[in-house]
Homo-oligomer: A and B are copies of this chain.
Amino acid sequence: MKVMVLGYDGYIGFPLTQHLLKRGHEVFGVDNGSRRQRVKDLESNSLTPIADFYLRKSRLASNKNWLGATSVNIGIANPVYLKHILQKIKPDAIVHLAEQPSAPWSMKSPFNASITQQENVLGTLHLLWAMKDECPEAHLVKLGTMGEYGTPECDIPEGIVPEKCLAGIDYKLSNTQSGTEEVKCPLSGLLFPRSPGSFYHLSKVHDTHNIHFACNNWGLRSTDIMQGVVFGLNECKNELDLTRFDYDECFGTAINRFCAQALADIPLTVYGSGNQTRGFLPLKDSIQCLTIALEKPPELGEYRTLNQFESIYSINDLADMVAKSCELTVSIQHLDNPRKEAEKHYYNPDHDKLFKMGYKPTTDIEGEIIKLLCALRPYKDLIKKHVIMPRINWR
C-alpha cells in the first residue's frame, strides 16, 4: 500500500513510518519540523538523543520503500501545494499526525490558541479538499483524541450516538399514542456531543465535524482515531532509530513526565486530586492500532470512529505505578490543578472496535513502565528539571 504519513518526524510518526516500511508499505513523508522547534522554544529537549532532521531523513531513504518527503505546514500553506503533492504521489492511504498536539501549549496565549486552530483545522480542511480532487478513494486515518468527548455523565460510544441508551441502564421508549414500543435513542446516528477542555481539544472536535461532513458530502472514507494518552518508547537496536521523548509541561504526557521526574529524583507532580481518569496505551500499541486501521479500511463514504486505548486509569494510579516501579524512593506531590476539569467523574468509554479488529495489547502497563524507566536511565542526567512544572494556567 502507498501511504502518506503527515508528521513522519514526530513521536508517533517516526516509529509508525519505520513500522510501515518494514511491513512492505511504500511511505511518503510530510513534516515541517515544528515539534522540534517548539520543544526547543520551551528550553526543553527530547530526552532520547534523536538524529538530526536531515540525518533521520537520509536514514529512512536507505529503505527501498521510502518515497521521499517534503516540508510544509499544511494549515498555513496555500491549499494548492497539498493538491500538487497528492497529484504526484496518489496515495492509497494518508495518516494525518501533523497537528499541534499540546493542550497546555494551546492555552498559553491568544497566539498559541490561534496557531493551534489554524494549523490543525485548516490543515485537515486543506487535506480533505485535496483528497476530494486528487485521490477520492484514499483512506484518511486521522489522529483525534479521547479528550474530544470530555467527561459526560454517561457511557461514551465510539463517535456516534448509538441506538441503545447511554446511561448504562436499560430503557424503553413508549409511544403512548400508538401503544408501540421503541428502543432507539432519538439522537441515534448523530455525532455524540463533544465536551472538549482546551483550544487544542476543540481543534480536534472541529476536525471531526469537517471530516464527518467530507465523508457524507463527497463520499470520502476516513478512520477518525479518538486516541488515549500515549506513553513509552519504541524498541530498536540502533539509538538513532529511537523516537523523541518529551517530558516538559506542554509536550510531555502524564506517564512520560512522571518517569522523567522519577529518574531526576524529584517529586511526581499530580494536578489536583489525581482522580481524573483517562484512557492510556503504550506507544507500540498505538503503532499496532494505527496499522490495523490502515490495513482494514472502511468502505467508500464511511466515517468510522475508533476509540484507541488499552485501558482506563486514574492519574493517581499511574503516579503510584511509576513510584513503585522505581528503585529510588520518590514522593508524589499534588499541585493546584492548572486545568479546569472534573476531578472526580464517571468515565466509561467504549473501545471494543479495535479489539474486534485484532488489537492485542502487547504487555501490561506496569511492565511497560518498568521497561520505559530502564530505557531512559542512560539519559537521566540530561533531564532539565525546570521545564516540567506547569506554568500555563487555563482557568
Binding site for B on A (CB under 8 A): 79-80, 83, 110-111, 113-114, 117-118, 121-122, 125-126, 129-130, 133, 152-155, 161, 165-167, 169-177, 182, 186-187, 189-199, 202, 205-206, 209-210, 213, 216-218, 340, 394-395
Partner of A199, one of B117, B133, B210: B210
B186:A125 contact, CB within 8 angstroms: no
**Nearest CB in chain B: distance from A219 CB, A:** 9
Which of A130, A169, A340 has the most B CB atoms < 10 Å from its CB? Answer: A169
A340:B217 contact, CB within 8 angstroms: yes
**Nearest CB in chain B: distance from A54 CB, A:** 30
**Nearest CB in chain B: distance from A4 CB, A:** 18
A199:B125 contact, CB within 8 angstroms: yes
A196:B217 contact, CB within 8 angstroms: no
B110:A190 contact, CB within 8 angstroms: no
Q: A114-B125, A154-B187, A217-B395 are in contact. List 7 more A-B contacts (CB 8 A).
A: A79-B114, A118-B118, A118-B122, A169-B174, A169-B176, A196-B209, A202-B210
B110:A129 contact, CB within 8 angstroms: yes
Which of A117, A187, A190 has the most B CB atoms < 10 Å from its CB? Answer: A187
A125:B129 contact, CB within 8 angstroms: no
B209:A213 contact, CB within 8 angstroms: no
With A125-B117, A167-B186, A199-B210 as contacts: A130 and B110 at CB distance below 8 Å: yes
Please measure, in the bound complex, the distance between the C-alpha atom of A186 and the C-alpha atom of B195, giving whole angstroms: 15
With A217-B340, A217-B394 as contacts: A121 and B111 at CB distance below 8 Å: no
B173:A169 contact, CB within 8 angstroms: yes
Give every chain B residue within 8 A of A186 (Cβ-Cβ): 153-155, 165-167
Using CB atoms, name the residue of chain B closest to A205: B209
B167:A174 contact, CB within 8 angstroms: no
Give every chain B residue within 8 A of A130 (Cβ-Cβ): 110
Please measure, in the bound complex, the distance between the C-alpha atom of A111 and the C-alpha atom of B395, giving whole angstroms: 35
Give every chain B residue within 8 A of A193 (Cβ-Cβ): 161, 187, 190-193
A122:B114 contact, CB within 8 angstroms: yes
B79:A110 contact, CB within 8 angstroms: yes
B165:A169 contact, CB within 8 angstroms: no
Q: List 16 A-B contacts (CB under 8 A).
A: A117-B125, A121-B121, A152-B187, A154-B186, A154-B187, A167-B182, A172-B172, A190-B195, A194-B209, A196-B213, A197-B213, A197-B217, A202-B209, A202-B213, A205-B206, A218-B395
With A121-B121, A152-B187 as contacts: A173 and B167 at CB distance below 8 Å: yes
A129:B113 contact, CB within 8 angstroms: yes
B210:A187 contact, CB within 8 angstroms: no
Please measure, in the bound complex, the distance between the C-alpha atom of A395 and the C-alpha atom of B301, giving whole angstroms: 13
Give every chain B residue within 8 A of A198 (Cβ-Cβ): 213
Using CB atoms, name the residue of chain B closest to A218: B395
Please measure, in the bound complex, the distance between the C-alpha atom of A213 and the C-alpha atom of B103, giving whole angstroms: 14
Please measure, in the bound complex, the distance between the C-alpha atom of A170 and the C-alpha atom of B172, giving whole angstroms: 10
Partner of A166, one of B121, B155, B187, B202: B187
Using CB atoms, name the residue of chain B closest to A166: B186
A172:B169 contact, CB within 8 angstroms: no
Give every chain B residue within 8 A of A182 (Cβ-Cβ): 167, 169
Give every chain B residue within 8 A of A177 (Cβ-Cβ): 169
Using CB atoms, name the residue of chain B closest to A154: B186
Give every chain B residue within 8 A of A161 (Cβ-Cβ): 187, 193
A117:B110 contact, CB within 8 angstroms: no
**Nearest CB in chain B: distance from A262 CB, A:** 31
Give every chain B residue within 8 A of A118 (Cβ-Cβ): 118, 122
